[in-house]
Amino acid sequence: MLLKLLDWIRMIAVAIAFYFGYQIGFKNGYDPVAQLHFMIPIIIVAIAGISGFEGLCFGKKSAELKGFEAGSNYQKQSAIALLSYAVIALIVYFVNWGIKAELTILFTFIFFFFFSGINHGLEAIKHKNYKWQNINRPFITLLLIAGMIYPVIKALQNLK
């Protein structure tokens, strides 16, 4: 039950980040830097932070929901890596290191998330693992990337 609640919190937080992020970005003309400054830490903490917490504190049940083996050192290591993305995203935000640092942690997180999506997709195809927590990852990853492309491109164009 708690893991399903964490799933909902993760999805709601990302939806809020997109809703208010786009509101902020288009408030007076278009400001992709302000938009991303709001969205990046929320998205990374919601996805990576909650997933990392889930993996460390509820690893066995979390793995079971995804159809994966539980208790491996790799699982713990992945959870720690996810938590590190969330912590660094918060440091970058609160220290206000700027859009280049924010984009760096976003790209690092998206790189991991993209290949994680491929891994989950292959798991579904090769091992017929059709559990919701497994098969949603490729689609959620593509939606996340699609929603971030425009502000990221615009922010990069502003750097020139």
Q: Is residue 103 part of a domain?
A: yes
Q: Is residue 147 part of a domain?
A: yes
Q: Is residue 42 part of a domain?
A: yes
Cα–Cα distances (Å) from 14 to 32, 48, 72, 146, in that order, read: 17, 11, 29, 13
Q: What domain range is 103 assigned to? A: 2-21+30-52+80-158
Q: What is the pLDDT of residues 35-55, one digit of tens each?
A: 999 999 999 999 999 999 999
Q: Is residue 131 part of a domain?
A: yes
Q: Is residue 86 part of a domain?
A: yes
Burial of 29 (0-12, 13-18, 19+ CB in 10 A): exposed
Q: What is the pLDDT of residues 92-104, one digit of tens each?
A: 999 999 999 999 9
What are the residues whose beta carbons fall under 8 Å from the beta carbon of 158, sequence distance 6 or more?
32, 33
Q: Is residue 153 part of a domain?
A: yes
| pTM of the complete model | 0.91
Q: What is the pLDDT of residues 105-139, one digit of tens each?
A: 999 999 999 999 998 899 889 988 887 777 888 99
Q: Is residue 40 part of a domain?
A: yes
Structure tokens at 88: 């660094």
- Span between the terminal Cα atoms of the chain, in Å: 48
Domain count, the chain: 1
Structure tokens at 158: 């502003």
